[in-house]
Structure 1
Amino acid sequence: MEQWKKWEQALTEAVDTDYSYGLAKRMEEPRTNPVLGYRTAGSQAEFETGELLYREMKQLGLKEVHKDKIRVDSWDFHHAVLRFRDHQGKEHEFQLGAYQTDFHTEGFKEFSMVYLGRGTACQYENVDVKGKLVLIDINQREEWWINFPVYQAHLKGAAALIAVQDNGYGEIHETALNAQDIAGPMEAAAFSISQADAAVLKADMARRAGENQGEYGETRVLFDASSTVLKDQESYNIVGTIPGREKDSLILLSAHYDSYFSGFQDDNAAVAMMLGIARAILKTGYQPNKTLVFCALAAEEWGVVDSKYDWSAGAYEQVFTARPEWQGKVFADLNFELPAHAHGKRDGVRCTYEYASFMEDFVKRIRNIPAAYPEGIEVLYPIQTWSDDFSMAIAGIPSMVNEFSAGEFMETHYHSQFDNEEFYQEEVFRFHHEFYGKLVLAIDRSAAVPLDFGRLFGAVADSVDRKMCRKTGAQEEGLLQGLEKAGELAKTLYKAVQTINQRYEELLEQRNGTCAGMSGCVSADEEGLSAAGGGCRKLEAACRELNRRLLGLFRKEQDYFVRLNWHDEVLFPQEAVGSNLQAIYKALECLRQGDAEGGLNAVYEIDNNRYAFLFDKEVFSYFTEYVLNQPADRLKWGAGRIVHHENLFELVASLKEKHQKAGGQTADLERERRALLKVAENQEQCYREDIQYMENSVGKLTALMEDCLKTIPDIKW
Structure 2
Amino acid sequence: MQLRQHRLSIILLVVVMCLMTTSPALAYRQMEIHLPLNESEVMVNGASVTLEVPAQIVNGRTLVPLSFLTEQMKVPAKWNAANQQVTLGADGAVVLTINETTAEVNGETVALDTPAVIMAGRTLVPLSFITRALGAEAVWDAETKSVHVTAAPQMALAEELYTQPVAGEAEVLAALDPQYGWDFALALGEIGSYVNDWGFRMGATDAGREASMLAYDAFLEMGVEAALHPFEMYGWNPLDAGMTILEMPDVDIPVVPAPGPAGTDAEGITAELVYVGNATREDLEGIDLTGKIALVAWNEDYVSWIAQVGHQVRRQGAIGALYFCEDGYGQDESGEAFYVADWSGADIDIPVWNTPKKYGEMLAEMLADEPLTVNLFSLVEIDENATGYNVVGMIPGTVYPNEFVIINGHTDAYFQGFMDDSLPVGLMMTIAKAMVDAGYEPHRTMVFVAHEAEEFGVMDTVYDWLIGSWALLGEMKGEWAGSTVATITLELLGYEGTPQLPMRSSDTLYFHLMNMTQGLDTTGFEEPGVEIRNTVGTWSDEWSYSYHGIPTMRTHTDYNITYNFYHSQLDQADRVDFDKYVANLRAFTTLMMRYDQTPVMPYDLAHTPHRYLESLNQEALTAQGLGTELAEAAAAYQDQANDLLDMTLALTARLMEMEELPEAAAAALPALNQALRNVARYVITESQYLSQESLVHRVHFYQNLPNTFQQAIEYLEAGDGASVLEELSFPGKYYAEFYDYETWYNSYRAAIDSETLGNDLFWSEGRLLKFYNHYRTLESIREKTAAGDTDFTAEIAAFEGFKADAEARLAQAYRDDLAMWQRAGNLLPITQAEALMNLIQ
> Do both share a fold (TM > 0.5)?
yes
Counterpart position of 1:552? 678
Q: What is the Cα deviation at residue 455 of structure 1?
A: 0.7
- The change in CA–CA distance for 1:144 and 1:89 in structure 2 (over 3 A counts) is closer
Counterpart position of 1:73? 234
Q: What is the Cα deviation at residue 8 of structure 1?
A: 3.2
Rounded to whole Å, the distance in 2 between the matches of 1:142 and 1:59 is 50
SS in 2 for 1:427: helix
- The change in CA–CA distance for 1:234 and 1:580 in structure 2 (over 3 A counts) is same
Query: Higher mean Cα deviation, 538-547 or 705-714?
Result: 705-714
- The change in CA–CA distance for 1:264 and 1:141 in structure 2 (over 3 A counts) is farther
Counterpart position of 1:155? 315
Counterpart position of 2:9? none
Q: What is the Cα deviation at residue 244 of structure 1?
A: 1.7
Counterpart position of 2:632? 481
SS in 2 for 1:104: coil
Rounded to whole Å, the distance in 2 between the matches of 1:693 and 1:174 is 50
**TM-score between both structures, scaled by the size of structure 1:** 0.88
Report 1:419-438 matches (<5 A): 419-438=571-590
Counterpart position of 2:413? 259
- Native 8 Å contact 2:278 2:303 kept in 1: no
Deviations 1:390-431 (A, max 9, x none): 110111221110111x52211111111111111111121111
Q: What is the Cα deviation at residue 536 of structure 1?
A: 8.8
Report 1:568-647 matches (<5 A): 568-581=693-706, 583-584=708-709, 587-588=712-713, 590-591=715-716, 594-607=719-732, 609-627=733-751, 628-629=753-754, 633-647=759-773
- Native 8 Å contact 2:405 2:484 kept in 1: yes
Counterpart position of 2:551? 398
Greater RCO (CA < 8 Å, at least 6 residues apart): 1
- The change in CA–CA distance for 1:715 and 1:707 in structure 2 (over 3 A counts) is closer
Letter in 2 for 1:171: Q
- Asked if 1:39 corresponds to 2:201, the answer is yes
Letter in 2 for 1:307: T
- The change in CA–CA distance for 1:141 and 1:425 in structure 2 (over 3 A counts) is farther
Letter in 2 for 1:618: E
Counterpart position of 1:280? 434
- The change in CA–CA distance for 1:290 and 1:204 in structure 2 (over 3 A counts) is same
- The change in CA–CA distance for 1:492 and 1:91 in structure 2 (over 3 A counts) is closer
Counterpart position of 1:471? 623
Residue 296 of structure 2, aligned match among 125, 136, 148: 136
Counterpart position of 1:307? 461
Rounded to whole Å, the distance in 2 between the matches of 1:712 and 1:656 is 66
Q: What is the Cα deviation at residue 254 of structure 1?
A: 0.5
Larger relative helix fraction: 1
- The change in CA–CA distance for 1:712 and 1:99 in structure 2 (over 3 A counts) is farther
- Native 8 Å contact 1:50 1:236 kept in 2: yes
Rounded to whole Å, the distance in 1 between the matches of 2:382 and 2:345 is 12
Rounded to whole Å, the distance in 2 between the matches of 1:359 and 1:92 is 50
Counterpart position of 1:21? 182
Counterpart position of 2:169? 8
Q: What is the Cα deviation at residue 45 of structure 1?
A: 0.6
- Native 8 Å contact 2:344 2:463 kept in 1: yes
Letter in 2 for 1:643: L
Residue 824 of structure 2, aligned match among 701, 709, 714: 701
- Native 8 Å contact 1:446 1:504 kept in 2: no
Q: What is the Cα deviation at residue 272 of structure 1?
A: 0.5
Letter in 2 for 1:140: E
Rounded to whole Å, the distance in 2 between the matches of 1:639 and 1:306 is 16
- Native 8 Å contact 2:647 2:833 kept in 1: no
Residue 337 of structure 1, aligned match among 481, 491, 501: 491
Rounded to whole Å, the distance in 1 between the matches of 2:484 and 2:288 is 56
Letter in 2 for 1:684: E
Rounded to whole Å, the distance in 2 between the matches of 1:503 and 1:672 is 66
Rounded to whole Å, the distance in 1 between the matches of 2:412 and 2:810 is 41
Letter in 2 for 1:693: D
- Native 8 Å contact 2:280 2:302 kept in 1: no
Q: How many residues align?
A: 673
Report 1:409-448 matches (<5 A): 409-448=561-600
Rounded to whole Å, the distance in 2 between the matches of 1:321 and 1:202 is 49
- Percent identity between the two aligned chains: 21
- The change in CA–CA distance for 1:546 and 1:306 in structure 2 (over 3 A counts) is farther
SS in 1 for 2:327: coil
Report 1:139-538 matches (<5 A): 139-140=299-300, 143-172=303-332, 173-188=334-349, 189-208=351-370, 217=371, 219-245=372-398, 246-321=400-475, 324-341=478-495, 344-366=498-520, 368-370=521-523, 372-374=525-527, 376-404=529-557, 406-475=558-627, 477-507=628-658, 510=659, 532=660, 535=661
- Native 8 Å contact 2:676 2:829 kept in 1: no
SS in 2 for 1:27: helix
Query: Higher mean Cα deviation, 17-26 or 190-199?
Result: 190-199
Whose Rg is larger?
2
Counterpart position of 1:105? 265
- The change in CA–CA distance for 1:302 and 1:548 in structure 2 (over 3 A counts) is same
Rounded to whole Å, the distance in 1 between the matches of 2:663 and 2:602 is 18
Counterpart position of 1:657? 783
Counterpart position of 1:212? none
Deviations 1:653-707 (A, max 9, x none): 0122133335xxx956565445434433432333233222211111121222258
Counterpart position of 1:526? none
Rounded to whole Å, the distance in 1 between the matches of 2:555 and 2:819 is 34
Counterpart position of 2:133? none
**TM-score between both structures, scaled by the size of structure 2:** 0.75
Letter in 1 for 2:328: G
- Native 8 Å contact 2:517 2:529 kept in 1: no
Deviations 1:316-366 (A, max 9, x none): 111112564222221111110112126744433212211112212212222
SS in 1 for 2:189: coil
Letter in 1 for 2:534: Y
Rounded to whole Å, the distance in 2 between the matches of 1:417 and 1:25 is 14
Q: What is the Cα deviation at residue 639 of structure 1?
A: 1.4
Query: Higher mean Cα deviation, 632-641 or 383-392?
Result: 632-641
Q: What is the Cα deviation at residue 250 of structure 1?
A: 1.1
Deviations 1:66-88 (A, max 9, x none): 111122222111122111133x6
Counterpart position of 2:62? none
SS in 1 for 2:236: strand
- Native 8 Å contact 1:479 1:691 kept in 2: yes
- The change in CA–CA distance for 1:4 and 1:58 in structure 2 (over 3 A counts) is same
Rounded to whole Å, the distance in 1 between the matches of 2:486 and 2:382 is 34
SS in 1 for 2:637: helix
Query: Higher mean Cα deviation, 669-678 or 465-474?
Result: 669-678
Rounded to whole Å, the distance in 2 between the matches of 1:703 and 1:676 is 40
SS in 2 for 1:473: coil
Query: Higher mean Cα deviation, 136-145 or 191-200?
Result: 136-145
Counterpart position of 2:244? 83
- Native 8 Å contact 2:489 2:541 kept in 1: yes
Letter in 2 for 1:400: M
Q: What is the Cα deviation at residue 482 of structure 1?
A: 1.1
- The change in CA–CA distance for 1:141 and 1:75 in structure 2 (over 3 A counts) is farther
- The change in CA–CA distance for 1:634 and 1:505 in structure 2 (over 3 A counts) is farther
- Native 8 Å contact 2:496 2:580 kept in 1: yes
Gaps of 5+ in 2: 1-89, 92-163
Letter in 2 for 1:14: A
Rounded to whole Å, the distance in 1 between the matches of 2:331 and 2:662 is 54
SS in 1 for 2:408: strand
- Native 8 Å contact 1:141 1:169 kept in 2: no
Rounded to whole Å, the distance in 2 between the matches of 1:587 and 1:320 is 43
Query: Higher mean Cα deviation, 487-496 or 29-38?
Result: 487-496
Letter in 1 for 2:207: A
- The change in CA–CA distance for 1:442 and 1:297 in structure 2 (over 3 A counts) is same
Q: What is the Cα deviation at residue 271 of structure 1?
A: 0.2
- Native 8 Å contact 1:97 1:178 kept in 2: no
Rounded to whole Å, the distance in 2 between the matches of 1:10 and 1:707 is 36
